[in-house]
Structure 1
Amino acid sequence: MATFKHISSKNADYGAAEKYLTFQHDEFSMKPTLDESGRLVPREDYRIAALNCGGEDFAVACMRSNLRYGKNQKREDVKSHHYIISFDPRDGTDNGLTVDRAQQLGEQFCTDHFPGHQALVCTHPDGHNHSGNIHIHIVINSLRIESVPLLPYMDRPADTLEGCKHRCTDAAMEYFKSEVMEMCHRENLYQIDLLHGSKNRITEREYWAQKKGQLALDKENAALAATGQPVKQTKFETDKAKLRQTIRKALDRATTFDEFSALLLQQGVTVKESRGRLSYLTPDRTKPITARKLGDDFDKAAVLALLTQNAHRAAEQTTAIPEHHSTQRGRLQEEKTAKTAPKENGLQRMVDREAKRAEGKGAGYDRWAAVHNLKQMAATHNFLTENELLDPDRLDAAEKAARETLSEKREALKTVEAALAAKKELRKAANDYRRTRPTVDEHRKLKGKKADRYYQANEADFIIYEAAKRKLRELHPGNKLPSRDKLNAEIEALISKKNALYNEYREAKAAHERLFTAQQNAQKLYRQPSRRKEQSHER
């Protein structure tokens, strides 16, 4: 299956890209491999071509264009974009894919989708892990030297203009992936769906962490084997791989989201939901890992779907084999009773049957309410007995204490959330100030009409600068800007504190709900006049 990857680079040395493509490099350090004489070792086999460079070297052509248009002169500018198309190793043997054919496909792909850009297209016959997969490197100068037609992935007029820069947006990546899939389909090559993610998403960083960890583990095991000591572990697992296993084990056992969260919490993993997305915080981290970085199996929709399946499976296993019903009415009555039955090991409020009769509820509902009240009476009595709360005064005191604890947890959580929001606002203001300050400093050097024209061309930056300066005066009095690293550390610490407080708040809320329900039921259960009346009705 072909895969598609994008890497942006701020390296001003365009020759480094060509050096990487044509000479051997260490797969871990990415440093060039040298021979005994200290010279670079060329790659054994590759195909390379330069496009839109006018017969010049790729690096020289890119630097000329940058100077001509005054672009890519700052350190923070993205100088080049590196796209990689990797084919399935089986394509060579099963589908006849050759290095020369792959090079042709790469040059055509570059011509069709990156017109107007100076580019290098290079094809290697094998990956760094010796898997035998043919892959294409396409390196383009971020600057466009010719005006081009509007392509499907472009959404701004500037995306077509000469002297403007290439933007790799999410929409562009989806378009490029769909084009790679179409190319593989046209060439009868193996292909997977690149547009709908993967169950286990392995990032570039995690991939290299696994490779380096496995290499270190192999060396350690070799040393142990040489001394005759037993080997405990042969396969290295990253922290994300261990987290995936922990989540999958919890998903196999849980039937509800609360149960899923509780099982993970036992392993020290906190589940957090924000804007409909899940993230997982492990004990050794201050910043949670989002489900998107783990894979599609761990996002909210997939987790809820699996929990629903588990609940249905558990219900089917625990439900007794239904007896033959003489009437359809009897079967429907049992189904209704099962749906309205209280949760196992849970408390529910007792029903005020008199009030429901006054509302016009029928005899069927009244019979169900009588059974429901009897079950809740027993559950409430057991709860009060187990917690030694049969005395009404002690129950009232316990409920009041639980309510006060819940209020304290809620206020503490709100305080941390407010502090976190303020820190994030301060960080945004500081970043906006740092980003727009060079524009303001440049404007101060100009005079007359030049200054007016410069202001009009960069008016948005001036507005952002003034707003950021006002916000900094409000949140951070003083002349010194807050440290970026210190702010990030404070924000991460507040996020960790917020997650811990949220778990405490959720536990306090559940405890108060149980006590409050027990208190309401106890008032009806042990209230003498109404209790006699309730018993007379139930007879």
Structure 2
Amino acid sequence: MEYFKSEVMEMCHREGLYQIDLLNGSKERITEREYWAAKKGQLALDKENADREAAGQTTKPTKFETDKAKLRRTIRQALSQATSFDEFSSLLLREGVTVKESRGRLSYLTPDRTKPITARKLGDDFDKAAVLALLTQNTRRAAEQTTAIPEYPHTQKERLREEKAAKTTPADNTLQRMVDREAKRAEGKGVGYDRWAAKHNLKQMAATVTAYQQYGFSSPEELDEACSASYTAMQESLAELKQVEKTLNGKKELQRQVLAYSKTRPVRDGLKQQKNAKAKAAYRQKHESDFIIADAAARYFKENGISKLPGYKALQAEIESLIQEKNSGYNDYRAKREEYRRLQTVKGNIDQILHRERKPVKRQEQER
């Protein structure tokens, strides 16, 4: 297959035909239709600018862009500023572009379209893997820029000493679950593993007692109550986050329906201008696809009790506000989830130290 691809590319090159790279992925996947549309658009723009220049008028931009080219430029601008996928989605929404994910693939919906454009049709730079990789790179670059700059330049020896200390210094979250050595020996673990487990358990005992004292517990029962309260707080935070996500999805769907309905306004106005029923029926049949979209949007508005359509800017501002609320809600949920897990680790280790019978641990319904 690779041989045939290279032969086709060689034939196209020899005949001077437009071609795409069949052997490697294309960063910007430009189809033949888009290529000729750009060519014709550029010729028309050059002709119009020449006429304007001859008439002494201001010329338009000298480079013609197709709709896909404009979309690529908008996505790249958002990617150059965003450090997370939610921020990336918010920046695109400000430009009227909605990004969706389905089955691990991204698609982009512009205000003038009812059907989204898949990342596969735009190029490899716009698929999910490339977008997430670039966002991770932006996050890492932002973190590097915020690190403190040393007041005086270090020598090579001091720099190596600091790097070694950073590698050997344990992380803040060193609290881990203790190992059940008897169960591991019953599974057939060797002497080497048992020695490691003994050292590991001693370290975790010390870390557990320190955490137990930092929390200020006076009895294991207080620890059990704290675990239950932490689990309840985590579930309440998760319920609030789900409600915000549900509201956000509803607003996005409303925005999509409003855009689709507003796009069919010229066709709906044309129907009112028809004089008799026969002309209206013929006009409606001619523009059947537009009326299907308009009727679907009207049903959506009626089912949701929407009598007055919201303005685009107000709806856009509301969506951005909900995205910020969702981000802060997720951060709150993640902090409470980590606190619950830490308390569960302390509880499990304390039970093992005191040889208490462990109670069944509540499972999180949905880990995010």
1:302 to 137, 156, 181: 137
Q: Is the 8 A contact 1:278 1:300 kept in 2?
A: no
1:167 to 56, 66, 75: 66
Aligned pair 1:352/2:180, yes or no? yes
Name the CA shift for 1:318/1:455 in 2 (closer, same or farther; >3 Å): same
| SS of residue in 2 equivalent to 1:360 | coil
| SS of residue in 1 equivalent to 2:136 | helix
Instruction: Identify which of structures 1 and 2 has the higher relative contact order when contacts are C-alpha pairs closer than 8 Å and 6+ apart.
Output: 2
Aligned pair 1:377/2:306, yes or no? no
| SS of residue in 2 equivalent to 1:361 | coil
Alignment of structure 1 residues 305-384 onto 2, 5 Å? 317-318=163-164, 343-384=171-212
Alignment of structure 1 residues 223-302 onto 2, 5 Å? 272-274=84-86, 299-302=134-137
| CA distance, structure 1, for counterparts of residue 208 and residue 271 of structure 2 | 74
Q: Is the 8 A contact 1:423 1:491 kept in 2?
A: yes
1:468 maps to what in 2?
A: 297
Aligned pair 1:436/2:264, yes or no? yes
| CA distance, structure 1, for counterparts of residue 44 and residue 304 of structure 2 | 46
2:327 maps to what in 1?
A: 499
| SS of residue in 1 equivalent to 2:216 | coil
Q: Deviations over 1:171-230 (max 9, x none)?
A: 8978xxxxxxxxxxxxxxxxxxxxx979x96xxxxxxxxxxxxxxxxxxxxxxxxxxxxx
TM-score, normalising length from structure 2?
A: 0.57
| SS of residue in 1 equivalent to 2:62 | strand
TM-score, normalising length from structure 1?
A: 0.40
Aligned pair 1:519/2:347, yes or no? yes
Q: Is the 8 A contact 1:377 1:521 kept in 2?
A: yes
Give how far 1:345 is off. Answer: 4.1
Give how far 1:317 is off. Answer: 1.0
Q: Is the 8 A contact 2:258 2:297 kept in 1?
A: yes
| CA distance, structure 2, for counterparts of residue 504 and residue 343 of structure 1 | 22
Structure 1 residue runs of 5 or longer lacking an equivalent are 1-109, 123-135, 141-165, 175-195, 202-239, 245-270, 281-291, 322-337, 531-539
Q: Give the root-mean-square deviation of aligned CA atoms.
A: 4.7
Give how far 1:452 is off. Answer: 4.9
| CA distance, structure 1, for counterparts of residue 161 and residue 139 of structure 2 | 16
Q: Is the 8 A contact 1:357 1:366 kept in 2?
A: yes
Name the CA shift for 1:504/1:525 in 2 (closer, same or farther; >3 Å): same
Q: Is the 8 A contact 2:271 2:280 kept in 1?
A: yes
Aligned length: 262
| CA distance, structure 2, for counterparts of residue 409 and residue 426 of structure 1 | 26
2:42 maps to what in 1?
A: 114
| SS of residue in 2 equivalent to 1:389 | coil
Alignment of structure 1 residues 137-176 onto 2, 5 Å? 137-138=61-62, 167-170=66-69
Amino acid at match of 1:470: R
Amino acid at match of 1:301: T
| CA distance, structure 1, for counterparts of residue 193 and residue 142 of structure 2 | 31
Amino acid at match of 2:164: T
Q: Is the 8 A contact 2:86 2:323 kept in 1?
A: no
Give how far 1:461 is off. Answer: 1.4
Amino acid at match of 2:353: L
Name the CA shift for 1:342/1:521 in 2 (closer, same or farther; >3 Å): farther
Amino acid at match of 1:474: E
| CA distance, structure 2, for counterparts of residue 497 and residue 308 of structure 1 | 23
Give the structure with the higher percent helix.
Answer: 2
Q: Is the 8 A contact 1:350 1:521 kept in 2?
A: yes
Give the structure with the higher percent strand.
Answer: 1
Q: Deviations over 1:57-103 (max 9, x none)?
A: xxxxxxxxxxxxxxxxxxxxxxxxxxxxxxxxxxxxxxxxxxxxxxx
1:335 maps to what in 2?
A: none
Q: Is the 8 A contact 1:430 1:472 kept in 2?
A: no
| CA distance, structure 1, for counterparts of residue 90 and residue 320 of structure 2 | 14
| CA distance, structure 2, for counterparts of residue 471 and residue 490 of structure 1 | 19
Aligned pair 1:415/2:343, yes or no? no
Q: Deviations over 1:378-400 (max 9, x none)?
A: 10000001111251011111111
2:253 maps to what in 1?
A: 425
Alignment of structure 1 residues 79-94 onto 2, 5 Å? none
Tell which structure's C-alpha radius of gyration is larger.
1
| CA distance, structure 2, for counterparts of residue 319 and residue 121 of structure 1 | 68
| CA distance, structure 2, for counterparts of residue 139 and residue 434 of structure 1 | 30
Name the CA shift for 1:301/1:504 in 2 (closer, same or farther; >3 Å): closer
Give how far 1:412 is off. Answer: 1.0
Q: Is the 8 A contact 2:177 2:348 kept in 1?
A: yes
| SS of residue in 2 equivalent to 1:348 | coil
Name the CA shift for 1:369/1:315 in 2 (closer, same or farther; >3 Å): farther
Q: Is the 8 A contact 1:420 1:491 kept in 2?
A: yes
Percent identical among aligned pairs is: 35
Choose 521-530 or 395-404, whichever is displaced more: 521-530
Amino acid at match of 2:163: Q
Amino acid at match of 2:246: A
1:488 maps to what in 2?
A: 316
| SS of residue in 2 equivalent to 1:428 | helix
| CA distance, structure 2, for counterparts of residue 172 and residue 496 of structure 1 | 24
Q: Is the 8 A contact 1:416 1:494 kept in 2?
A: yes
Give how far 1:299 is off. Answer: 4.3
Name the CA shift for 1:342/1:355 in 2 (closer, same or farther; >3 Å): farther
| CA distance, structure 2, for counterparts of residue 306 and residue 455 of structure 1 | 55
1:159 maps to what in 2?
A: none
Name the CA shift for 1:304/1:111 in 2 (closer, same or farther; >3 Å): closer
Name the CA shift for 1:111/1:397 in 2 (closer, same or farther; >3 Å): closer
Q: Is the 8 A contact 2:248 2:322 kept in 1?
A: yes
